[in-house]
Chain A
Amino acid sequence: MACNSSTCKSSGCYEGYEAEEQAKSKTKAAVNGGNSCQNLCVKCKVNEPVCCGIGGENSRFCKDCFKNNLYGKFKQAVTYNAMITPPDKVLVAFSGGPSSRVVLQFVHEMQYKAQKNYDANKDKSLPVFGVGVAFIDESSTHSFASQHIEKAIEDIRLIVSNLAPPSKELFVVPIESIFSSDGIDGKERLKELLDAVSDVTGKEDLLIHLRILLLQKIASENGYTRIVLGSCTSRIACHVISATVKGQGYSLSADIQYVDLRWEIPVVLPLRDCPAQELSTLCSLDGSLKIVELLNGPCSGINGLVSSFVKVLQEENPSRECTIVRTAGKLTPFHFNRVPEIHDSNVPSATRRHQKRYTLKPNGSLSSDSFCPICNSPLKKSNFPSSLRSHGNQKNPDLFASACSSCQFQILPKDPSLMEEFLSLLPQQMITKAKHRDQGAFSLLREQIQEFLLSDGENEI
């Protein structure tokens, strides 16, 4: 669905396959080429084209048009889904890679324009949204030299300080500080926790869950109202396949939407329609978009297998990733993926108009109030009681018995006697969140029987 909007339909999805068909490509060449446009940007017809995007011969853009095209996709996602509104303070998750570099740049440009409008406007009616940058330092989970990471952090500081005005706060936070509220040595605890997970893929996924949890923590402690991720089409396509392979077909549609309101601080994905290849092309074209090379060990296990599978598919057909995301986009999203209605008069009316047209249609059967305490994915109701039944008789009536089947398999220990120890290693934030949820469900139950209760106090029960 997403790809329909822009270049993809016109250039990639359908015709990619036929490119190999010689007869076809000859006729196409006759239509396209054979005139003076051959060596000019297909958009502005002024400058020389510099690169081929995903559409191969159809998207010979010059540098500026190429960038504008990508920015257009970003801006459209932001506007249609009301991702960033003037009163917001957004936290951009920055890893140093091409995708997050581009999203940071685009958010900056948007903010810069807003600032200029603000300065020019006499009555100063529209405030300018704030931008912060968060870099999660995961070096403690790897084993490479610390100089390297120091150098990387130095580079990141430079990048962020160059993106001013307006100036941006930078948070460099080590992943182990997810344990900071527990008042213990985070590094040790993190190592223990990861060592307790035997499955390679499970370890990787747990780290991803901890990362998003930490981003939530940074955002909420510093008053941010949105978290912007640089997840691009390619990344999402890999997620679609790996979630399918892990048996998470039910919750999959929750993870791949533009907006995810499951969290305390909403998470948004404005690069959902931008393939990785285009983003790295942009970075290599534009000298100012410096990437920070980080030796984040390559994915292993299931995730690694999936990404190499998708990579080969993409080479075979340059619009494959797009098709995968589009297929998954047809799955029904959850209620928390709906863009909240905005009545704020600060929001430009254009955004509100778009919103009316593009918000997901409500669906009666959508509500799912239980979530996996580890990965926060919504649980299918029919799966829920059975998992409770099988674990409910244990001494520890823990909330984690309600983990999704994927987390139960690849993250939680198989031996029930190890469960208690494992749970004690998890960050407090994860546990309180789960408890909170549980109480939420409990009070919902209470509400239903409210009229028959003789006392108002929760404590007596």
Chain B
Amino acid sequence: MEADSKPKKSGARLCCVCNQNRAALKRPKTLEQICRECFYAVFEEEIHQVILENQLFKPGERIAIGASGGKDSTVLAYVLSELNRRHNYGLDLFLLSVDEGITGYRDDSLETVKRNELQYGLPLKIVSYKDLYGWTMDEIVKMIGLKNNCTFCGVFRRQALDRGAALLKVDKVATGHNADDIAETVLLNILRGDIARLSRCTSIITGEDGPIPRCKPFKYTYEKEIVMYAYFKKLDYFSTECIYSPNAYRGFAREFIKDLERMRPRAILDIIKSGEDFRISTTTKMPEQGTCERCGYISSQKWCKACVLLEGLNRGLPKLGIGRNQGLNSDGSISARGPVVFAQTKSTQRINFSVSTL
């Protein structure tokens, strides 16, 4: 399979779907040469089918779209409102953004989301770290430096999204995780030995036992196609990387996936299929779900991860909750026994309720 065909000769090829218009692009997923209109059609139709087959939504539900202003969530907001109208899903859609308080990054991207609110006519709710936790990411980074800051951000964002969703009284949150993200997560979970996450990272709906489930309508949608869609539709999105995340580790797996995709486009779908098919015994013990004694959020421990991290911040012990030695004594006091391990995210990921983007 040729990686990149020669520069297209104008008018030489017709779209292989409609056979009428000139092919304008090569579909990253299948390498078919198709025209722009057919691309929109297949792109939207595939997502529609995924929604139907997996029964992601029920008529009358209130759905929050996790909106960061980036390409994935912008396209998701656009496509979902389009499909909702076209196929009469009967959904009430909302945009839900988290303001981490990162100057030069989130403030700009939130401007994009605010424009999207008007463009797509979807009500927007913004929840901020400052309001929820009393700390902005800028302040946290100032205190703890650029190591482990993503642990804080990840733990806080997960909870912030849930709180925002609760405020909006929605039934479900839809996130813009795409096929590349999921394939990457499958690989990362293998690399770090996390069998529990490996077993659930490919589920299209998660947290069904919790108060507000989440779903990933883009589970089978290639990142390249999302970019292509946003590009051709001239959607308004924000494309700067977070200034605090030069995350080399995840980036490395991503690079590997891009290489694979170049060699064999279906590799991304194959990885997801593998992830779905892994024979993971259902009797493998999973952590018991309880609630945090402090804030009432779901937690497998006495205190939820966010509260442990927050307590550390407020008491000036930011290393609390990072690493495997974090914990709570039976009397409710927090202790960091032994040497505090300052490893990479890897060791924190071992703990079942820590950072989880998926």
Residues of A within 8 A of B (CB): 13-14, 17-18, 21, 23-24, 27, 201, 240-241, 243-250, 252-253, 301-302, 305, 309, 312-313, 320, 323-324, 326-328, 330-333, 363, 380, 405-406, 409
Contact = CB atoms under 8 A, between A and B. Distances in A.
Interface residues on B, range: 35 or more
B182 to A, nearest CB: 13
A335 to B, nearest CB: 12
B181 to A, nearest CB: 16
Interface in B324-358: 339, 341-344, 346-347
Best-surrounded residue of B256, B269, B284 (most CB of chain A within 10 A): B256
Given A21-B342, A302-B263, A330-B195, A240 B280 contact: no
B190 A241 contact: yes
Given A305-B263, A327-B193, 7 more contacts: A246-B267, A247-B266, A249-B273, A305-B256, A305-B260, A313-B191, A331-B195
A330 B280 CA distance: 7
A244 B344 contact: no
Contacts of B278: 249-250, 252-253, 331
B314 interface: no
A13 B190 CA distance: 14
Contacts of A305: 256, 259-260, 263
Given A309-B256, A323-B192, A327-B198, A245 B342 contact: no
Nearest to A23: B342
Contact of B274 (A27, A248, A332): A248
Contacts of A240: 190
Nearest to A410: B264
Contacts of B274: 243-250, 252
Contact of B194 (A248, A327, A328): A327
Given A18-B343, A302-B260, A249 B190 contact: no
A320 B343 contact: no
Given A305-B263, A309-B256, A247 B190 contact: no
Contacts of B193: 13, 323-324, 326-327
A309 B254 CA distance: 11
A425 B344 CA distance: 52
Nearest to A240: B190
Contacts of A14: 347
Given A21-B342, A302-B267, A305-B263, A244 B190 contact: yes
Interface string B113-132: 00000000000000000000
B279 interface: yes
B187 A241 contact: yes
Nearest to B272: A247
Contacts of A405: 273
> Which of B260, B264, B267, B280: most chain A Cβ within 10 A?
B264
B81 interface: no
A284 to B, nearest CB: 28
Nearest to B278: A249
A244 B271 contact: yes
Interface string B177-211: 00000000011011111110010000000000000
B273 A247 contact: yes
A331 B279 contact: yes
Contacts of A301: 263
Interface string B205-232: 0000000000000000000000000000
A245 B183 CA distance: 9
A363 B343 contact: no
A17 B277 contact: no
B293 interface: no
A244 B186 contact: yes
Contact of A17 (B260, B269, B275, B346): B346
A327 B190 contact: yes
Contacts of A201: 264
Nearest to B283: A363
Contacts of B82: none
B133 interface: no
Given A250-B278, A252-B278, A305-B259, A17 B273 contact: no
A328 B273 contact: no
Interface centre among B189, B190, B278, B279 (most CB of A within 10 A): B279
Nearest to B347: A17
19 contacts: A14-B347, A18-B341, A24-B339, A243-B274, A244-B274, A246-B270, A247-B273, A248-B274, A302-B260, A302-B267, A313-B191, A327-B189, A327-B198, A328-B190, A330-B195, A330-B284, A331-B278, A332-B281, A406-B270
B326 to A, nearest CB: 15
Interface string B66-99: 0000000000000000000000000000000000
A247 B270 contact: yes
A250 B277 contact: yes
A363 B281 contact: yes
Nearest to A250: B277
B344 A17 contact: yes
B191 A249 contact: no
A27 B347 contact: no
Interface string B274-308: 11111111001000000000000000000000000
Nearest to A378: B279
B263 A327 contact: no
Nearest to B249: A316
B179 to A, nearest CB: 13
Nearest to B341: A18
A247 B269 contact: yes
Nearest to A312: B252
Contacts of B277: 247, 249-250, 380
Contacts of A309: 256
Nearest to A243: B274
A406 B271 CA distance: 11
Contacts of B276: 249
Contacts of A247: 266, 269-271, 273-274, 277
B286 to A, nearest CB: 13
A459 B242 CA distance: 71
A305 B270 CA distance: 16
Contacts of B190: 240-241, 244, 324, 327-328
A312 B187 CA distance: 15
| Nearest 6 CB-CB pairings of A with B | A249-B274, A247-B270, A250-B277, A249-B277, A332-B279, A244-B274
Nearest to B279: A332
A248 B267 CA distance: 11
Given A249-B274, A305-B256, A17 B281 contact: no
Interface in B90-112: none
Contacts of B195: 327, 330-331
A252 B270 CA distance: 13
A133 B344 CA distance: 45
A249 B275 contact: yes
A324 B193 CA distance: 6
Contacts of A246: 267, 270, 274
B279 A253 contact: yes
B117 to A, nearest CB: 40
A331 B278 CA distance: 7
Nearest to B323: A18
A250 B267 CA distance: 15
Nearest to A320: B191
